[in-house]
Amino acid sequence: MNRTRRLVLAVVSVLVVATTATGIVYGTSGSAAPTKDSLVLNGRAPRSMELSVNLSTGGSFQTSGTITINATTSSLSAVLRVPVVTADTTFNVRAVKDRVYLTSPNLADASGPVWYTLAAKWPPLAGLSHYLVKPNAALLTLLANAKVVHHGYETTYELHRTNVALGALGSSGTTTNAKGTLDVHLTTGRQGEFTELWITTSSKSSTTTVDLRVLSYNRTAIIVAPPASRSTTSASPLLKQLLSSGALGALVLPSQVLQALSGAKLS
């Protein structure tokens, strides 16, 4: 797998983790129990969702931002802060009709933003939308031995597992033979709708933490591709620059997730 493809998988993995796991920044809620659930879905799959996302790899790489998903059109947009060399750089990302577009204020020219583009395919996001209404029985079975914590209308499932098969995705290559720990905190709202997720995977040498939060459901989300005249540049030079910065670190994920990422269709 060439260097550009490895970094693309790492960048796309931020979006994949957010859209296939779905969640929230985990933290303490204070002493007062929540009294109002603003995310209720009334049994209907959401047309759109907005997520906050934080991802770190043991301090060597950290990104945060927001992701907006339109499940009806299977498109998404994101604003992510990514460390490049010595400073954080804000990247705007759009995924529309099997193509990913990336830009940054630092990439603009006299005529406006320059969008880097890359072909990529993944399953329709409508399936994710149906999942969010209520986590399916298979996932709850996985969490059957989890500690259940009730706080107001919220329910959190806390799971700790050891000897889990992990894989590392980073600038030095891909490995899938590590063992480590997996910690999961999954939170649902008043009607059982998916609201929060915190995941940490740790091997002997690396730790990856993903914090996700559902900020809203069913807000208007119009996501379109950039003008064709501004999106003719290949993403390869930009991605090579990010790789050479050394900021990526090693992204450690459960082996099953890593295998799915490795099978992503990118060009």
| Res 59: pLDDT | 65
Q: What is the mean pLDDT of residues 131-142?
A: 73
Rounded Cα distance between 188 and 65, Å, is 22
Report which of residues 238 and 40 the model is more confident about. 40
Mark 158-179 as b/e (b = at least 16 C-beta within 10 Å).
Answer: bbeeeebebbbbbbeebbeebe
Band (pLDDT 50/70/90 cuts) for residue 29 is: very low
Global confidence as pTM: 0.78
* Residue 175 pLDDT exceeds 60: no
Domain harbouring 11, CATH code: 2.50.20
* Residue 267 pLDDT exceeds 50: yes
pLDDT digits (tens, 9 = 90+) for 67-119: 999 999 999 999 988 766 556 778 889 999 888 898 888 777 878 888 888 88
| Total count of domains within the chain | 1
Domain of residue 59, residue span: 3-266
